[in-house]
Amino acid sequence: MLWCWLLAGSAALLALGSLHGERRRAAYVKSRLSKNAGTLPPATVIVPVKGEDQGLRENLAALAALDYPDYELIVAAQSAADIPAGVLPRRAKVVLAHGGSPEASEKVQNLAAAVAAARRSSTIYAFADSDARVTAGWLRALAAPLEEPDVGASTGYRWFTPEPAGLWSLLRAVWDGAAFGLLGPGDNPFAWGGAMAIRREVFFAAGVPECWRTAISDDYALSDAVHRAGLRIAFAPGALAPSPEPITARRFFAWSRRQLLLTRVYSPALWRAALAAHVVYCGGMAAALALWVHGSAAAPWLLAAQLLPGMTKGLLRARRARAALPSQADWFRRWGWTHMLLTPVATWLWLAALLSSVFGTSIEWRGRRYRLQRRIDRHSTIS
């Protein structure tokens, strides 16, 4: 049983080590949320639409009512048929891409067409998703880090606040919260496409349009371009976007596999690190349980040493999210505890999703199938 002790002990050490940096993340979020935005340059907010999403009309209305002095809102789609009747706010400008690219995804084509149609006075491009309901300060939060000289892009993230809050919807919220936990001070590994912003001059100087010509994932392509330009991605906690969409078990497994298959292809180092960590975590849990079954008195304590750090991290993530989303205080009062108690289950779901993404080179997204292929352009820098 030596291997059980080694595996369980390694998992406990890894779990304890994963708490490193949580205090710094909390301080960063508190500091960012307390700062008032400086200059607020003209901006263009772009949201792609492909059919109906739960609460789509309200989601678009929130984007049309941002607390920001000068911005335009562009709703982008492949065709007019992709925009359901009665959902467009009055101030929205509609841009239709009409397809034509055999390599880029529909979403990327829509975004590229919207950028091309954006007003020339805008110096910031901000991107949103149609299934999230942003807060009034969302754009201010994204614009603030772009004032810093070494920041190429800013990013928020989503926080699932499912209604109704069924088991699988809550498990997805906890599962996805782990990725939110990666974001903090300094450079961040990715920008999330549902809440990211970039200055216009950086967008073109870093070569984002060229990267998008053959991209399936808009945010991974933009993140790569920013990092290759020698710039960092800043986390903007005030741009956290709540998403009330529920999900079934079947849809959860398809959705989580798609997320990690995209990560495996477009951010392989991040995917490999996640796979290695979850193999150790889950293997350690199984080893501790095996020792417990064989009568080891120390096994329960070893299992607790593995579980409690992860559960603590889940609780801390929920606290940071609640601080960024005061409008969702009622949801957090009712369901915030799940981010602690369901974390061990979510850890196994992460392993299942990672293993399911080991093979495969295609995804289905909004009714279309895409073949994934990573293309690395030449290195570029911005001075």
Total residues belonging to the chain: 383
Q: Which residues contact 289 (CB under 8 A, 6 or more apart)?
A: 299, 303
Region 103-126 average pLDDT: 95
Q: Which of 32-36, 155-159, 311-315 has the lowest mean pLDDT?
A: 32-36
pLDDT at 233 over 60: yes
Please write the tens of the pLDDT for every residue from 251-276. Answer: 999 999 999 999 999 999 999 999 99
- For 132-202, where are the E strands, in sequence order? 151-155, 158-160, 195-199
What is the pLDDT at residue 300? Answer: 95
> Confidence class of residue 32 from pLDDT cuts 50, 70 and 90?
very high
pLDDT at 377 over 50: no
Please write the tens of the pLDDT for every residue from 192-215. Answer: 999 999 999 999 999 999 999 989
> From CA 111, how far away is CA 117, in angstroms rounded?
10
What does the radius of gyration of the chain's CA atoms come to, in whole angstroms?
Answer: 21
pTM, 2 dp: 0.92
Residue 78 to residues 227, 302, 382, Cα–Cα distance (Å): 29, 54, 33
> From CA 145, how far away is CA 298, in angstroms rounded?
48
> From CA 111, how far away is CA 78, in angstroms rounded?
10
State which amino acid sits at residue 9: G
**C-beta atoms surrounding 104 within 10 Å:** 23
Residue-wise DSSP of 116-128: HHS-TT--EEEEE
pLDDT at 380 over 60: no
What is the pLDDT at residue 375? Answer: 56
